[in-house]
Structure 1
Amino acid sequence: MKILSFKSGHDGTVAGVDSADDSLLFSYEAEKNSFPRYTPVTPDTFIDAGLWFKDLPDVLALSGWSRNGIDHVTTSGAGYFGIGAGSETVGKRTFFGKTVDYYTSTHERAHIWCSYALSPFVQGEPCYVLLWEGVLGDFYEIDRDLNIHHRGRVMTSPGTRFAFLYALADPDFPISGGELRPADPGRLMAACAFGEGGPAEEEEQVLIGQILSIDTTTDPLRKSSFVNSPYFNIGTDSQRLKNLATKLSDAIFKHFQDFAETHLQKGYPLIIAGGCGLNGNWNAKWEKSGLFREVFVPPTTGDSGCAIGTAVDAMRHFTGRAKLNWSVYSGQSFCDDKADLEGLTATELNLKHVAQALYDGKIIGWTRGNCEIGPRALGNRSILAAPFNAETRARLNRIKGRAENSPVAPSCLEEDAHLHFDLEGSSPYMLSFHQVIDPSLAAVTHVDGSARVQTVRRNQNAFFYDLLAEFKATSGAGVLCNTSLNFKNSGFINSTSDLAHYAQQVGLDGFVAGNTFYEIGKI
């Protein structure tokens, strides 16, 4: 049984699952291939997905979605909310002349089943799920028979409450503005690293209390309601904002931790779903909390995983199975097309040559195989650089069009991670912060001493692992700066022609595409 699944709305995605071997065939995110970030499903995405199928799929699945705002009018499938009766629809549809099974379930369920399917825990092992995002902030339990039990709503809209602070402080966000910008949670998360923790001062307590007490189901957060706040339009680079961001982050996390300590006492592993799972600080706190035997965050914890989740929900309905064999490199394949080679010197790819260029201070685009699924560059659509010089971080941020003090993440040989970071074990999806213990890694050490680490094993990504190993042989450290390869406000670059244009536009020193190393300005 082959299942073709769609997620509409922002972060549009098309995914394919084959129940014959419980495999994820692909997950194509519409923003990839240099489309604008958060793009809905496009004809390009649909056509790319169709190339996987020699025949039409057996099941057509659709993730639920709703209009933004407090009314949440259903715009796709089974809507946004629900895990019980009425949260799924089963029927038949005629799809390009073939009668297929049709399945749709809610956005809430899509998040839960995506994270469950990708987790390392075997089917039948009970686990807890935390779903926190822009709307939902709930805990669940999945039992051995795949029943979902709601264990409690901790807070509505935790992601929105967190991001709202950035909009409140930003003079560029209009007072009449409604929907928050998708990039604001990440911006505020970066600001937290510059903040001073400790007990909140009186005016901080007042604003945190206001942000956390509003009933967002009936009264969405509006900037116009906070014009008298001392933080209104204070500026996003204000130290007072950074301090408050740290304390608001801690306050939100404490609400969820307190609930878990009281109500989730069976010691099951915890699976995290929803966009708040991209907050590496919160993920690290869950890992260190000691409340759960293990914590798993999938690379597609945000909405880009919902097409996978609904496909799995359909597979569960028709087959009784809800686990997938999958790879994080299940996105679109790279298009090694013709490029304008003027100003470029092309040589056959040699990893020692690339490692030496990186050690010499070159900044290099790196493309291999299929795109990563989810928003993190994990060694297939990356910009790479040596990790030793703080000026390298500043240059990378200029290339990316970001503030020069923005954090840059490291990728590291997994067996060496303990030499450089307070990390034992693996962190393959770059979703958790760890303290840097190697003082030589200035380019990847954030102001608070942390880094969002990706660990790499050879059976995870052989070519990227081999590059890290060559860089270690050259430099003494199997660590590289790794940031995403994309035009500003667009998804990953996915063709040689786009990459050649990008490299010369932003000032890369070279790039790898296919089996060729292109160097810029070399005579």
Structure 2
Amino acid sequence: MKILSFKSGHDGSVAGVDAAKGELLFSYESEKDSFPRYTSVTPDTFIDSGLWFRDLPDVLALSGWSTAGAQHVTTSGAGYFGIGDGSQNVGKRTFFGKVVDYFSSTHERAHIWGAYAMSPFKQGEPCYVLVWEGVLGDFYEIDAHLNLHHLGRVMEAPGQRYSFLYALADPKFPDTARRMRREDPGRLMAACAFGENGTTNPNEQSLIDYLLSPEPTAELLCKDKLTGSPFYNIGVDDPRLCNVAVKLSDAIFDRFHAAAEQKLTKGYPLIITGGCGLNCDWNTKWMRSGLFSDVFVPPCTSDSGCAIGTAVDAMRHYTGQAKLTWSVYAGQSFCDDRIDHEGLTMSEQNPRDVAQALMEGQIIGWARGNCEIGPRALGNRSILASPFSAEARVRLNRAKNRADISPVAPSCLEEDVGRHFDSTRPSPHMLYFQKVTDPALEAITHVDGSARVQTVARNQNPMFYDLLIEFRAISGSGVLCNTSLNFRGAGFINKTSDLCHYARSAGLDGFVAGNSFYRFV
């Protein structure tokens, strides 16, 4: 049984699952291949997905979706909310002349089943699930028989409350806007690192109390209601924003942690999903909380993973199975198209040659194999640099058109992570923070002494692992700066022609495209 699944709305994606094998065939996110961030499903994505099927799929799955704002009118499939009766639609549809099974379930269920399927916990092992994102802020339990139990809503729209603070401080955000910007949560996360988490002053406490009040968010998150706030339009670089940001962040986490202490008492593993699962600070706190036997966050924890989730929900419905074998490199395959070679030298890609160039201070684009699923560059769509100089961080940030002091993440050989950071736990998907213990790693050490580490094992990504091995042989450290390879406001680059254009415009020293190493002369 082959399942073709679609997620409409922002973060659109198309996924394929072989239910007989319990295998994720692909997950194509519409923003990848340099399309704008948060793109809905495109014709390109749909056509690319067809390459996986000799015949039409057996099951057509559609992830539920709704309008934004207070009404949440269903616009796709089974809608946004619900895990019980009425949260799935099952029937038959004619698809290109073939009658196929049709399955749709809610957005809420897509988050839950996608994260569960990708988790390392065996089917039949009970788990807790936390879904926290722009709209949902809920705990669940999945029992040994795959029954879903709702354990309660902790907070409506935690992600929107979080991102609204950035909009409040930003003079560019209109007073009358009623829809949050999707990029603001990441911006507020960055601001938190610069904040001082001391005693909360009265102005800060008043704002935090307002933002966490139980009023409906449609009424609460209105900038024109807060024109008298001391944080209104103060500017996004103001230290006062950074200080209140870290305190609001902690206050939101503390609400969920208190609910978990009260309701999640059986010591089961915790699965985290939803856009807030990209908050590495919160993930690290959950991992260190001591409440759970283990913690798992999927690499596509945001809405980009919901096509996978609905495919798994369909698989569970038709076969009783809800676990997948999968790879984080299940995105679009790299297109090595033609480029203008003027001003370039080309040689066969050799990890030692690339490692030597990096050691000499060069900034290198690196694109090989399939795109990563989710937003983190994990060694297939990366910009790489040596980790030893703060100047490298500045160069990378200028290439990315970011502030010079923005954090740059490291990739590290899994077996060496304890040499450089305060954790030996594998972190292959770059979703937790670690403290940097190696003072030589200036480029990847953020202002608060942390780094968002990706650990790399040979069986995870052999070519990227070999590059880190060669760099260690030359430098003594198997660590590299690793930031995402994309045009500003777009998904990962996926063509040699786009990569060449980006490398020229961003001032890179060279790039690897498939098996070729290009350098500017």
Structure 1 length normalisation: TM-score?
Answer: 0.99
CA distance in 1, matches of 2:506, 2:62: 39
- Is the 2:161–2:217 Cα contact (8 Å) retained in structure 1? no
Do the aligned residues in 2 keep the contact of 1:77 with 1:104 (CA within 8 Å)? Answer: yes
* AA matched with 1:427: S
Tell me the equivalent position of 1:368.
368
Aligned to 1:336: 336
CA distance in 1, matches of 2:285, 2:216: 26
Other structure's SS at 1:72 match: coil
In structure 1, what is the Cα distance between the partners aligned to 2:20 and 2:162? 42
Q: For 1:442 and 1:204, how far apart are their aligned partners in 2?
A: 33
Per-residue CA deviations over 1:234-274 (Å, capped at 9, x if unaligned) read: 01000011000000000000000001111111000000010
Find the aligned partners of 2:515 and 2:29 in 1 and give their Cα distance.
Answer: 25
What corresponds to 1:55 in structure 2? 55
Question: What per-residue deviation string (whole Å, max 9, x for no partner) do you get for residues 98-151 of structure 1?
Answer: 000000000000000000000000000000000000000000000000011001
Instruction: Give the aligned partner of residue 410 of structure 1.
Output: 410
Q: In structure 2, what is the Cα distance between the partners aligned to 1:419 and 1:76?
A: 49
CA distance in 1, matches of 2:93, 2:395: 53
In the other structure, the counterpart of 2:470 is 470
C-alpha distance in structure 2 between counterparts of 1:52 and 1:496, whole Å: 23
Amino acid at match of 1:401: N
Can you list the C-alpha shifts for 1:53-98, whole angstroms capped at 9, x where unaligned?
0000000000000000010000000000000000000000000000
Partner of 2:241: 241
For 2:199 and 2:215, the matched residues in 1 are separated by 25
Correspondence 1:445-484 to 2 at 5 A:
445-484=445-484
One-letter amino acid of the structure 1 residue matched with residue 122 of structure 2: V
Kept in 1: contact 2:115–2:272 (CA 8 A)? yes
Q: 1:47 corresponds to which letter in structure 2?
A: I
**2:102 match:** 102
User: Residue 23 of structure 1 contacts residue 326 of structure 1 at CA under 8 Å; is this kept in 2?
Assistant: yes
Matching residue of 1:90? 90
Shift of 1:326: 0.3
Query: Which SS does the other structure have where 2:370 is aligned?
Result: coil
Shift of 1:20: 1.4
Question: What is the TM-score with the length of structure 2 in the denominator?
Answer: 0.99
Q: SS where residue 123 of structure 2 aligns? A: coil
Could you tell me how far 1:218 is from its partner in structure 2? Answer: 5.3
Distance 1:221 1:272 in 2: 25
- 8 A Cα contact 2:5 2:16, kept in partner: yes
Could you say which residue in structure 2 is the equivalent of 1:280? 280
Deviation for aligned residue 1:177:
1.5
Alignment of 1:25-44 (within 5 A): 25-44=25-44
**Amino acid aligned to 1:33:** D
CA separation in 2, counterparts of 1:152 and 1:438? Answer: 43
Match of 1:398 in 2: 398
Paired residue secondary structure (1:442) = coil
Q: Distance in 1 between matches of 2:392 and 2:14?
A: 37
CA distance in structure 2 between the partners assigned to 1:305 and 1:218 by the alignment = 26
Q: Distance in 2 between matches of 1:259 and 1:376?
A: 30
Q: CA deviation at 1:203?
A: 0.7
Write the distance in 1 (CA, Å) between the matches of 2:199 and 2:49. Answer: 51
Output the CA distance in 2 between the equivalents of 1:433 and 1:225.
35
What stretches of structure 2 of length at least 5 have no aligned partner?
none
- Which stretch has the larger CA shift, 215-224 or 505-514? 215-224
Residue correspondence of structure 1 range 108-127 to structure 2 within 5 A:
108-127=108-127
Shift of 1:180: 1.1
Instruction: Determine helix, strand or coil for the equivalent of 2:443.
Output: helix
* Amino acid aligned to 1:200: T
Which residue does 1:306 correspond to in 2? 306
For 1:312, the aligned partner's letter is V
Give the whole-Å Cα distance in 2 for the aligned partners of 1:223 and 1:116. 37
Q: Does the alignment pair 1:501 with 2:501?
A: yes
Instruction: Output one character per residue of 1:298-326: Cα deviation in whole Å (capped at 9) or x when no partner.
Output: 00100000000000000000000000000
Instruction: Kindly indicate whether the alpha-carbon contact (under 8 Å) linking 2:211 and 2:220 is maintained by their aligned counterparts in 1.
Output: no
Give the conservation status (yes or no) of the 8 Å contact 1:2–1:18: yes
SS at match of 2:52: coil
What residue number does 2:155 align with? 155
- Aligned to 1:24, the other structure's residue is in SS state strand
User: Do 2:178 and 2:218's aligned partners in 1 also have CA atoms closer than 8 Å?
Assistant: no
- The Cα shift of 1:214 comes to 4.6
**Whole-angstrom CA distance in 1 between matches of 2:220 and 2:229:** 17
Q: Is the 8 A contact 1:341 1:500 kept in 2?
A: no
1:443 matched residue in structure 2 = 443
Q: How high is the sequence identity, in percent, across the aligned residues?
A: 71
Structure 1 residue 219: Cα displacement:
2.1
Are positions 1:353 and 2:353 aligned together?
yes
Q: Return the offset for 1:198.
A: 2.4
Q: Confirm or deny: 8 A CA contact 1:435 1:451 kept in the other structure.
A: yes
How far apart, in 1, do the equivalents of 2:290 and 2:303 lie? 28
Q: Once the two structures are superposed, what CA deviation does each residue of 1:332-388 show, in whole Å capped at 9, x if it has no partner?
A: 000001011111110111111100000000000001100000000000000000000
Aligned partners of 1:477, 1:26: CA distance in 2, in Å? 34
Matched with 2:167 is 167
2:128 aligned partner: 128
Residues 492-521 of structure 1, C-alpha deviation per residue, up to 9 Å, x if partnerless? 000001101110011000000011100012
Letter in 2 for 1:394: V
Equivalent residues of 2:130, 2:273 under 8 A apart: yes
- In structure 2, do the counterparts of structure 1 residues 447 and 217 end up closer, same or farther at CA, with 3 Å as the change threshold? closer
d(CA) in 2 for partners of 1:39, 1:83? 26
* Deviations 1:470-506, CA, capped at 9 Å, x for gaps: 0000100000000000000000000001101110011
Q: Look up the match of 1:290.
A: 290
User: Is the CA contact (8 Å cut-off) linking 1:69 and 1:220 kept in structure 2?
Assistant: no
DSSP-derived class of the 1:51 partner: helix
Instruction: Tell me, in whole angstroms, the C-alpha distance in 2 between the residues paired with 1:515 and 1:210.
Output: 55
Q: Secondary structure at 1:131's aligned position in 2?
A: strand
Matched positions, count: 521
1:199 Cα deviation from its structure 2 partner: 2.5
Q: Measure, in 2, the Cα distance between the counterparts of 1:449 and 1:188.
A: 18
Which amino acid in 2 is paired with 1:179?
Answer: R
Deviation, structure 1 residue 220:
4.7
* Cα-to-partner distance string for 1:441-487 (whole Å, 9 max, x where unaligned): 00000000000000000000000000000000010000000000000
Q: 1:199 to 1:130 in 2, by over 3 A?
A: same
Higher mean alpha-carbon deviation, 130-139 vs 190-199, is at 190-199
Structure 2 residue identity aligned to 1:70: A
Q: Do the aligned residues in 2 keep the contact of 1:65 with 1:78 (CA within 8 Å)?
A: yes
What is aligned with 2:378? 378
CA distance in 2, matches of 1:216, 1:136: 13
Could you tell me how far apart the structure 2 residues matched to 1:191 and 1:341 are? Answer: 41
Q: Which residue of 2 is the match for residue 4 of structure 1? A: 4
Q: Distance in 2 between matches of 1:314 and 1:121?
A: 20
- Letter in structure 1 aligned against 2:318: F
- Whether the aligned pair in 1 keeps the contact of 2:69 and 2:218 (CA below 8 Å) is no
Amino acid at match of 1:193: A
CA distance in 1, matches of 2:267, 2:67: 37
Q: Secondary structure at the match of 2:219?
A: coil
Is 1:197 matched with 2:192? no
2:232 aligned with 1:232, yes or no? yes
Contact 1:214 1:221 in 2 (8 A): no
* Secondary structure class of the residue paired with 1:357: helix
The list of structure 1 runs, each at least 4 consecutive aligned residues, that deviate by more than 4 angstroms after superposition, is none
- 1:215 positional shift: 2.0
The CA distance in 2 between the partners of 1:233 and 1:403, in whole Å, is 20
Paired residue type of 1:426:
P
